[in-house]
Amino acid sequence: MTMIRMRFLVGAIMLVALAAFPILSQEEGEMSFFITSMGPGDGANLGGLDGADGHCAMLAQAAGAGGKTWHAYLSTTGGGGVNARDRIGSGPWHNAKGVQVAANVDELHYSNVGLTKETQLSEKGEMVNGRSDDPNQHDILTGSQLDGTRFTDGEDHTCGNWTSNGEGSAQVGHHDRTGGGAVASSWNAAHGSRNCGQTDLQATGGNGYFYCFAID
């Protein structure tokens, strides 16, 4: 009887401890943000926003997170241009390991302390190569300004709204928050790319990767 009572006592203590310090729930920790582990392979020609969104969904599905609506963090310009920040829902967002990278859109853009090389993982939960790795792949396509809005200066910052693999340029961020460019520590607006082809992106430290967010 003493042993049985002891087991019940231990069980009760464990339940109380779990209530006081809850483990991250599946809902809270479910992946809702990642960097693509691979691009479509045609430079910055992503097939427009629809093609980029579809690529996000395909990778998420393969990683077991297909039951969400996924949007690429990409801005477009010209008539009907959109802001990347307006495409990604309201947050919060978690990486593949369940770590929260941002609570909401404002934190994502104005604090963004949760965005580091160690937290900005691929859909596979793997770290993406940074400036200190070989090859360097830290340039992430965004077409966006620091606050997540589109450019309105008439210049090409989106490789023809994500349809060009030749002439043009795409604004990129540094997921490892370091390197060269006007704002080297920016995750979404570090500098422009050298043209739009796959080899061009690779030559300036990228590989055609972009950010994906679950909007629901």
pLDDT tens readout for residues 83-116: 999 999 999 999 999 999 999 999 999 999 999 9
Which residues lie across from 139 on neighbouring strands? 174, 206
Which structure tokens are listed for 6?
């002891």
Higher local confidence (pLDDT), 14 or 156: 156
The count of C-alpha atoms lying within 13 angstroms of the C-alpha of 135, restricted to the half-sphere facing its C-beta, is 10
Instruction: Fill in the amino acid letter for 189.
Output: A
Q: What is the pTM of this model?
A: 0.87
What is the reported pLDDT for 16? Answer: 35
- Mean pLDDT, the chain, integer: 89
What is the reported pLDDT for 29? Answer: 54
Residue 17: pLDDT above 80? no
pLDDT tens readout for residues 184-200: 999 999 999 999 999 99
- Pairwise CA distance, residues 55 & 69, whole Å: 12
| Largest Cα–Cα separation, the chain | 81
Q: Is the dihedral of CA 85, 162, 175, 63 positive or negative?
A: positive
* Cβ partners under 8 Å of residue 198, min gap 6: 39, 41, 42, 43, 165, 207, 208
- Pairwise CA distance, residues 161 & 77, whole Å: 7
pLDDT tens readout for residues 107-160: 999 999 999 999 999 999 999 999 999 999 999 999 999 999 999 999 999 999
Residue 201: pLDDT above 60? yes
* Cβ partners under 8 Å of residue 71, min gap 6: 53, 56, 87, 88, 89, 212, 213, 215
pLDDT tens readout for residues 169-187: 999 999 999 999 999 999 9
Domains, the chain: 36-122+130-214 (3.10.100)
